[in-house]
Amino acid sequence: MKRAQISMEFMILTITAIAIIGIVVLFVHNKQQEYSQEFQNAAIEDFAYSLQQEFFSASTMHDGFEREIVLPDRIYNKLYSVTIINNNLYVTQDQYEMILPLPSVNGNIPGSTFTIKVEAGQVEVVI
């Protein structure tokens, strides 16, 4: 009888320990994914702000200014999209979207390589 009781207590303690370890592992995994997502969102924000700065810098230049921009294919190994709608810059990756105001800009970002030009005082995006 004593052996059976010790065996049963050992099983209960073992199962309890495994359950606690499982809960801790899940908690740590969820926190790691949360921090990873925050890090990726910060990278998208940095990218969006630097692209916005290119347009604001171009808006202060004189006619004839021209600068070629080459965008990376992926940010942290994930696809993203960049568009200009109503003088707002939209940078989207997965479920995260960053919207930033731009100076008056003609055109849209056609792909990963484009040129920012200033002609007649107007910032333009061309291929």
pLDDT of 1 above 70: no
Looking at per-residue pLDDT, the higher value among 89 and 36 belongs to 89
* Residue-level pLDDT at 46: 93
Structure tokens given for 86: 């109503």
The structure's pTM equals 0.76
* Residue-level pLDDT at 102: 94
C-alpha 87, offset from chain centre: 21
pLDDT band for 3, please (50, 70, 90 cuts).
confident
Q: In whole angstroms, give the CA distance from residue 87 to residue 100.
A: 9
pLDDT band for 107, please (50, 70, 90 cuts).
confident
Average pLDDT on 86-98 reads 91
* Residue-level pLDDT at 14: 94
Do the Cβ atoms of 109 and 103 come closer than 8 Å? no
pLDDT > 70 fraction of the chain, expressed in percent and rounded:
99
Average pLDDT on 10-31 reads 94
Average pLDDT on 93-115 reads 89
Average pLDDT on 1-28 reads 90
